[in-house]
Every structure is written in C-alpha cells, then in structure tokens.
Amino acid sequence: MEFLDYLWAYFIVFVFAAIPFFEAFGVITLGILAGLPAVPVILVSLVGNILTVLLLIVFINKFKEWRRKRKGEEAEKQQSKRAVRAQNLWNKFGMPGLAFIGPLFVGSHLTAFMCVTLGGQKKRTSIWMVSSITVWGIVFALLTHFGVDFLGYEDRGVLKDLIQVD
C-alpha cells in the first residue's frame, strides 16, 4: 500500500472509532484483520473513541438540552431497559463497574452519558471512561493478534483482499 492508501485507511479507522456504537475495540479488531499494522490502528482507534467520549462528557448539559427538546419532557421521565440496567450496575458496582462493563453492551458514549446522568462527576467519569476504553482496546487487540496468528494469518489480513485498491 502507498502512503495515501494508509492515510485514507487510518482516517476511516479514526472516523469509525469516533462514531457511537462502533467502539474502538471493534474497529481495532477490524483494522488488524484488514492487515493494517496493529500499533497505529490501536492508537488511532483509541484517540477517535476517547475524543468523542470526552467531548460528550464536556458538553453533556448541551446534549441533555438538545435531547429534551427533541424527545419532549415526558420521554425524559420514562426509563428504558438500558437505563434500568445501567442504574442497577451503578448501584451494585459504582462508576468503575459501569465504566468497564457498559461499553461492551451499550457502547462507551451511552455509558459515559449514563455515568454523568446517574451522578458521576465529569472528571471522574472522564478518567474511568478513558481507562475503560484503553483497557478494552488493548484486550481486544491482543485477542485479535493472537487469534489471527493462531489461525495462520500473520502476514496477510483476512479482509485485505476486500479493501485492496489496485
């Protein structure tokens, strides 16, 4: 691949990692399976995911205001199943538990939103969410790396033929 192809690939990795529900650990896995070098994929994915989560935490009040206007006051009072599960995790394990378990089930953006909504301070939420995203990203990178090596795809990406530009 040429330099511009790599640049374009890493831009796509960054954008997908920044989009809610396309978590960094999922994008890291896809990037490694596509044959991109693991370390840059990990770094770019983590930066993309962490940046948007931190922006959400910083601007949470503006986001709540926008959501309230969009959904209406009565929708704000109704709790979804996800909100009930998050509240139960919060009651049982506190912010660390929700921050580490939440991204696997509902995504890091929604988890950060729930942490702040349930009473967490922005600074503590930021620290726990950055830790969680980083740990899960590294765990999934290691699992993907060793799984790919175990299957014999060490030097070629599983998805490389699909994204290769001629």
Query: Residue 142 corresponds to which tokens in the numbers above?
Result: 């290691």
154 pLDDT band (50/70/90 cuts)?
A: low
pLDDT per position as a tens digit, 38-57: 999 999 999 999 999 999 99
pTM for the whole structure: 0.78
Domain boundaries, the chain: 3-163
Taking each helix axis from N to C terminus, what angle separates 108-117 and 122-150, rounded to the nearest 10 degrees? 160
Apex CA 96: angle with CA 93 and CA 101, to 5°?
80
pLDDT per position as a tens digit, 82-107: 778 778 878 888 889 989 998 998 89
- Tokens 């049982």 belong to 92
Query: CA–CA separation, 115 vs 60, rounded Å?
Result: 11
Q: Left if phi > 0, otherwise alpha if psi is -120 to 50, otherwise beta: which for 20?
A: beta
| Average pLDDT rounded to a whole number, residues 142-147 | 86
Residue type, position 142, single letter: L
